[in-house]
Amino acid sequence: MLKDLRRKFVIIIMSLVSIVLLSVLGGSFVSTWQTQHAIMNDALERGIEGELTDLPRIAINADKNAGMPERPRGGNILVLAVDLDESGVVIATNKAPFYIDPTTFTDVLETALQSDKDTDWDEYLHLAWRRAQRTDVAWRVVIADTSAIDLSLQDLVVKDLIIILLAFVALLLISIGLSTWVLKPVAQAWEQQRRFVADASHELKTPLAVIIANAEILAKDPGIPQESMRWVQSTTDEATHMKNLVEELLELARTDESSSGATGVMQKVDVDFSSMVESAALEFDAIAFERGTSIDETVAEGVHVQGDPEWLERLCKILIDNACKYTKGSTPVTVDLSCESHRCTLKVTNFGNVIDAEDLPHIFDRFYRTDKARSRDEKTGGFGLGLAIAKGIATSHGGDIIATSSAEHGTTFCVTLPATRMQDGE
In a domain, 66, yes or no: no
In a domain, 343, yes or no: yes
Please identify, among 208, 237, 259, the residue that sits at the C-terminal boundary of a domain. 259
310 domain-assigned: yes
Give the integer Cα–Cα distance in Å for 152 and 148. Answer: 6
Tell me, yes or no, whether 216 lies in a domain: yes
Closest CA to 335 of 382, 248, 322, 370: 322
The bridge status of strand 333-340 relative to strand 295-299 is parallel
pLDDT higher than threshold 90 for residue 423: no
Question: Which of 214, 229, 259 represents a domain boundary (last residue)?
Answer: 259
Q: Examine residue 371 and state whether it is found in any structural domain, yes or no.
A: yes
Number of Cβ within a 10 Å radius of residue 305: 24
CA dihedral 339, 341, 345, 351 (to 10 degrees): -90
User: What mean pLDDT comes out for the span 334-354?
Assistant: 89
**Residues 189 and 301 both lie in one domain:** no
Same structural domain for residues 225 and 323?
no
Using CA atoms, how far apart are residues 353 and 369, in angstroms rounded to an integer?
Answer: 14
How does 368-386 read in b/e, with b if 16+ C-beta sit within 10 Å? bbbeebbeeeeeeebebbb
C-alpha 417/C-alpha 271 separation (Å) is 12
Cα 233 to Cα 215: distance, rounded to the nearest angstrom: 7
CATH code of residue 315: 3.30.565.10
- 228 is a domain residue: yes
**Structural domain span for residue 228:** 184-259
Rg over alpha carbons for the chain, rounded to the nearest Å, is 39
72, 61 contact by CB (below 8 A): yes
Angle between helices 226-259 and 386-396 (to 10 degrees): 30
Residues 328 and 226 in one domain: no
Strand bridging mode 119-122 / 127-132: antiparallel
Asked if residue 245 has pLDDT above 80, the reply is no
Sheet holding 139-145, edge to edge: 90-93, 79-84, 139-145, 127-132, 119-122
Question: What is the C-alpha separation between 333 and 267, in angstroms, rounded?
Answer: 30
Considering the chain, what is the average pLDDT of its residues? 79
Query: Do 273 and 373 reside in the same domain of the chain?
Result: yes
Pair (274, 402) in one structural domain = yes
pLDDT higher than 70, residue 175: yes
Structural domain total, the chain: 2
Taking residues 138-150, report their average pLDDT: 86
How many whole angstroms separate alpha carbon 175 and alpha carbon 115? 54
Segment 173-178 mean pLDDT: 85
Same domain, 203 and 333: no
Cβ-count burial of 178 within 10 angstroms (0-12 exposed, 13-18 middle, 19+ buried)? Answer: middle
Residue where a domain terminates, one of 194, 225, 259? 259
pLDDT band at 415 (very low <50, low <70, confident <90, very high): very high
- Are 290 and 379 in the same domain? yes
- In this predicted model, what pLDDT tens digit does every residue of 305-315 receive, in sequence order? 988 888 899 89
Rounded Cα distance between 69 and 204, Å, is: 91
Same domain, 295 and 407: yes
Examine residue 83 and state whether it is found in any structural domain, yes or no: no
3-class secondary structure, 339: strand
Using DSSP's 3-state secondary structure scheme, residue 267 falls into coil
**Which pLDDT belongs to residue 409?**
86
Q: Is residue 92 part of a domain?
A: no
Please compute the mean of the pLDDT values over residues 134-154 and round it to a whole number.
Answer: 85
Question: Quick one: pLDDT at residue 57?
Answer: 45
Q: Is the dihedral of CA 300, 327, 325, 400 positive or negative?
A: positive
Percentage of residues in the chain with pLDDT exceeding 70? Answer: 82
Count of alpha carbons within 13 angstroms of residue 286, beta-carbon side: 2
- Quick one: average pLDDT of 22-31? 89
Q: What pLDDT sits at residue 346? A: 94
46-98 pLDDT, tens digit per residue, is 888 877 766 554 333 334 444 433 434 444 677 888 888 888 888 888 876 66
Residues 6+ apart with CB under 8 A from 328: 351, 352, 353
189-237: pLDDT as tens digits: 766 666 766 667 667 777 878 888 888 888 887 878 877 888 888 888 8
Residues 6+ apart with CB under 8 A from 324: 284, 287, 288, 291, 293, 295, 333, 350
Q: Is there a single domain that holds both residue 280 and residue 373?
A: yes
pLDDT at 56: 53
Claim to verify: residue 411 and residue 304 sit in the same structural domain = yes
Provide the pLDDT for residue 378.
Answer: 46
Give the integer Cα–Cα distance in Å for 420 and 426.
9
* Beta pairing class for 269-272 and 304-307: antiparallel
Helix (H) or strand (E) holding 69: none
Q: What mean pLDDT is predicted for residues 341-348?
A: 90
Give bridge partners of residue 347 from the DSSP assignment: 336, 414
Alpha-helix runs per DSSP H in 220-272: 226-259
The answer on 417 and 276 residing in a single domain is: yes
Q: Where residue 197 sits, what CATH number does that domain have?
A: 1.10.287.130
> Could you tell me if 226 and 202 lie in one domain?
yes
pLDDT top residue among 127 and 330: 127
